Chain A
């Protein structure tokens, strides 16, 4: 399954790279932009189309420690 096309532009992607602080060179950035669509597709899937009930809790539950 090839990566879906990213919905963001290359410039927007480069801005996100700068925010990470990772020292990616141009070749590395191009490579990651080519597969960025995988992240978007997975994120879309876990958002459940925005239909998840607000009260659904995460699987990890916080517990105070004595």
Chain B
């Protein structure tokens, strides 16, 4: 380990007075100064604001007014989360000068918890455009190998957390945009249940598929972040009004007796993974079994069903959001985004409704399967991070992914690092739960992390 703390360890050091939030922020800023030019993880760095905020945190903590584990922690937001007085560009020419007057609900909650915001992070254009070189800012690069894709769309968050520029960051997920960068950058990231984290003040992509959630180095850190991010918001019509358990306290319960279903057909027949991803998945299943889980294979509807349903809904809803600008400013969008969104124009109303009806059937099928298991596991991605030049506009249609099924179902899904490829790129396991059972999902991910040593390895920048 090269000295980059986790949120949990930094929180303990801050609480004990051994480390000051100012020193922590300065250390992160020094790393940014040294390495950010290679990674392009930030759209906008707010250096002075961050140091001022860290000084306020330091003073409050010294005065005995520590707000909790996030107080004084260096953090950053995906640049689709609105931040009052700070541009929120969605990594797009169309919003490059847009300055919101109000924080997103989740931004305000994290600010109240005392995070020290270092800036706004790169994303795919409007959270769907893919890594693009024709935008006002370059795409983020993978700290493990800078010619490789970070995954997206929470690309800047993936890069910045892996590089130790911040200790955590916000992401959003419509088809895999928290889990994929988590997987490709060696992080933990959770897409919670639909509605657990408010979407208000986050630029929408597809209303019924959008989820907000955290990315961090460890599952424990995700639990700490989710504790603050979760909560009812009247301004979000999809917001769930549910009791929020203590996610961090629940981590220690372990896996004994948990019934784990392996969605084997997804990654062995529906979209076969590489040999090393297969081996890493089997090894992870072995670890879960040794930790006391009862493992069995389960069968869901075919992966192509989930992908067809999810992508038709996504491109239809996203097209509706962007239609006015696509008609009047088509070529101001980047090429990747234009291509991905334009296909939504060709989905008929009947096909959209049929996709939404199919969605109910798929949800019900999943619920029946999960009546007999507590968790599902499968790889997060088909392989490690590809090279940037190999990511195409239509890659989502060319091969089905393992993440969008759980956006379609709206259930919680966590990605954890489960090894490295022969070329040193991270691999990842996906752990899925029933609606609002984030605590069980996080507990399984934490148990796995504690039983393995993958988190000891950081990218060398």
- Contact indicator B351/A47 (Cβ below 8 Å): yes
Question: In this assembly, does A30 line the interface, its C-beta being within 8 Å of a C-beta of chain B?
Answer: no
Q: How far is the CB of A21 from chain B (nearest CB, A)?
A: 5
Most central of A21, A32, A42 by chain B CB within 10 Å: A42
Select the stretch in B41-49, B259-267, B301-309, B418-426 that faces chain A: B301-309
Given A21-B327, A22-B326, A35-B397, verify A59-B342 contact (CB < 8 Å).
Answer: no
| Residue interface bits B332-363, CB-to-A below 8 A is 1, else 0 | 00000011001101111001011111111101
The CA-CA distance from A24 to B330 in the complex, in Å, is 8
Question: In this assembly, does A66 line the interface, its C-beta being within 8 Å of a C-beta of chain B?
Answer: no
Q: How far is the CB of B394 from chain A (nearest CB, A)?
A: 5
Q: Which residues of chain A are within 8 angstroms of B399 by Cβ–Cβ distance? A: 1
Q: Which residues of chain B are within 8 angstroms of A31 by Cβ–Cβ distance? A: 339
The CA-CA distance from A35 to B343 in the complex, in Å, is 9
Most central of B304, B309, B357 by chain A CB within 10 Å: B357
The CA-CA distance from A42 to B352 in the complex, in Å, is 10
Partner of B346, one of A39, A41, A48, A60: A39
- Contact indicator B345/A22 (Cβ below 8 Å): yes
- Contact indicator A23/B351 (Cβ below 8 Å): no
- Contact indicator A60/B394 (Cβ below 8 Å): no
Given A35-B343, A35-B394, verify A56-B360 contact (CB < 8 Å).
Answer: yes
Q: Which residues of chain A are within 8 angstroms of B208 by Cβ–Cβ distance? A: 59-60
The CA-CA distance from A46 to B66 in the complex, in Å, is 52
| Residue interface bits A5-47, CB-to-B below 8 A is 1, else 0 | 0000000000010001111100010011001101101110111
Question: In this assembly, does A64 line the interface, its C-beta being within 8 Å of a C-beta of chain B?
Answer: no
Q: A interface, how many residues as a size bin?
A: 20 to 34
Q: Which B residues from 381 to 404 make CB contacts under 8 A with A?
A: 394, 397-399
Partner of A46, one of B312, B331, B339, B398: B312
- Contact indicator B398/A2 (Cβ below 8 Å): yes
Q: How far is the CB of B461 from chain A (nearest CB, A)?
A: 36
Q: Which residues of chain A are within 8 angstroms of B348 by Cβ–Cβ distance? A: 43
Interface of A is mostly: helix
The CA-CA distance from A22 to B397 in the complex, in Å, is 22
Q: B interface, how many residues as a size bin?
A: 35 or more
- Contact indicator A46/B394 (Cβ below 8 Å): no
- Contact indicator A47/B397 (Cβ below 8 Å): no
Residue of A nearest to B410 (CB): A59
Q: Which residues of chain A are within 8 angstroms of B356 by Cβ–Cβ distance? A: 58-60
Q: Which residues of chain A are within 8 angstroms of B363 by Cβ–Cβ distance? A: 59
Question: In this assembly, does B311 line the interface, its C-beta being within 8 Å of a C-beta of chain A?
Answer: yes
Partner of B351, one of A20, A24, A46: A46
Q: Which residues of chain B are within 8 angstroms of A39 by Cβ–Cβ distance? A: 312, 343, 346-347
- Contact indicator A45/B357 (Cβ below 8 Å): no
The CA-CA distance from A32 to B327 in the complex, in Å, is 16
- Contact indicator B357/A57 (Cβ below 8 Å): yes
Q: Which residues of chain B are within 8 angstroms of A35 by Cβ–Cβ distance? A: 343, 394, 397
- Contact indicator B394/A38 (Cβ below 8 Å): yes
Q: Which residues of chain A are within 8 angstroms of B353 by Cβ–Cβ distance? A: 58
The CA-CA distance from A48 to B350 in the complex, in Å, is 13
Given A20-B345, A38-B343, A59-B359, verify A47-B354 contact (CB < 8 Å).
Answer: yes
The CA-CA distance from A66 to B116 in the complex, in Å, is 40
- Contact indicator B357/A59 (Cβ below 8 Å): yes
- Contact indicator A24/B346 (Cβ below 8 Å): no
The CA-CA distance from A59 to B352 in the complex, in Å, is 11
Residue of B nearest to A45 (CB): B308
Given A56-B357, A58-B356, A58-B359, verify A43-B339 contact (CB < 8 Å).
Answer: no
The CA-CA distance from A36 to B208 in the complex, in Å, is 24
Q: List 27 A-B contacts (CB under 8 A).
A: A3-B398, A20-B346, A22-B342, A24-B342, A28-B338, A32-B339, A32-B342, A35-B343, A38-B343, A38-B397, A39-B343, A39-B347, A41-B308, A42-B307, A43-B312, A45-B304, A45-B309, A47-B354, A48-B354, A52-B357, A52-B361, A56-B357, A56-B360, A56-B361, A57-B357, A58-B357, A60-B208
Chain A contact residues, CB within 8 Å of chain B: 1-3, 16, 20-24, 28, 31-32, 35-36, 38-39, 41-43, 45-48, 52, 56-60
Known contacts A36-B343, A39-B347, A46-B309, then 12 further A-B pairs from the complex at CB < 8 Å, ordered by chain A residue: A28-B338, A32-B339, A35-B394, A35-B397, A38-B343, A42-B308, A43-B354, A52-B358, A52-B361, A56-B360, A59-B356, A60-B208
